[in-house]
Amino acid sequence: MSKKHKKEKKGSSQEGKMSAKEFEAALEPLQLELVKMQEWVKATGAKVCIVFEGRDTAGKGGVIKRITERTSPRVFRVVALSAPTEREKSQMYFQRYIPHLPAGGEVVLFDRSWYNRAGVERVMGFATEEQVETFLAYTPALEKAIIDSGVILIKYWLDVSQENQAKRFKERNEDYRKIWKLSPMDLEAQRRWYDYSRARDAMFAATDTEESPWYVVDANEQRKARLNCIAHLLSVVPYDEIPHEPIELAGPQEKGDYAEPDYPYHYVPSLY
């Protein structure tokens, strides 16, 4: 896989839906490469931090799920913090996020991150304009310090149209398996669509730097978005394939004098 990232045209569309079969066929080689990347991270002690931000319903969780589906949770660690406690609200803003940054041999995926301050906190009035402006002023310096410490920092913004967002909210409301994804805060996303647009624009203007750029993922077609994001991730992490010697499997142990006990095991019913 080429390591060179080719810049796509802004606003490029993803026409035509991909079938589940096509998606799985395209995903398999990408997940194989993710395992190769994992082995490189383990062998070299690399530190990788991936930030996922974007519109509500854009599919951040879906991308993260596919990235971690075939990788080790001991290497690929997902951070999805809940609302701050009263104690955390009294801390320096970045304090609750810094302990979750990767150590050597780790890949950390932030399902939303310190950029909450530039998005939901700003739009919903949980942070003052002074706090937001301070955040935007200091974040590039913080991210430079993170990168200078040896962390590979990658930031993704998943974008979805207003119409598709409304459609996905409706699907969540009608599908009991997805109702946990809906909250009063989520429903504000449509009512305050352009407030969120203004907040995003200000965030990009302040934090889309040459050293730590934002990569925008067109997430209107979810399957293609997942594939495109994973392919791009593999293109910007400079991993190499680590030689792997097949393990020689041992033969089965002889039974010897072992006898199966006459024990009343509580078996799970065979319903399927």
Return all residues near 140 (Cβ < 8 A) that are at least 6 apart: 206, 207, 209, 211, 212
Q: Please, are residues 118 and 135 in contact by the beta-carbon 8 Å criterion?
A: yes
CA distance 159 to 102: 26
CA-CA distance, 210 to 50, in Å (whole number)? 17
Task: Please report which helix (H) or strand (E) contains residue 225, including its range.
Answer: helix 222-236
Provide the 10 A C-beta neighbour count for residue 32.
Answer: 12
Which of 242, 269, 229 lies closest to 65 in space, CA to CA?
Answer: 229
Q: What is the pLDDT along the chain (272 residues), one digit of tens a residue?
A: 434 444 444 444 445 789 999 999 999 999 999 999 999 999 999 999 999 999 999 999 999 999 999 999 999 999 999 999 999 999 999 999 999 999 999 999 999 999 999 999 999 999 999 999 999 999 999 999 999 999 999 999 999 999 999 999 898 888 888 888 888 777 888 899 999 999 999 999 999 999 999 999 999 999 999 999 999 999 999 999 999 888 899 999 999 999 999 999 999 999 99
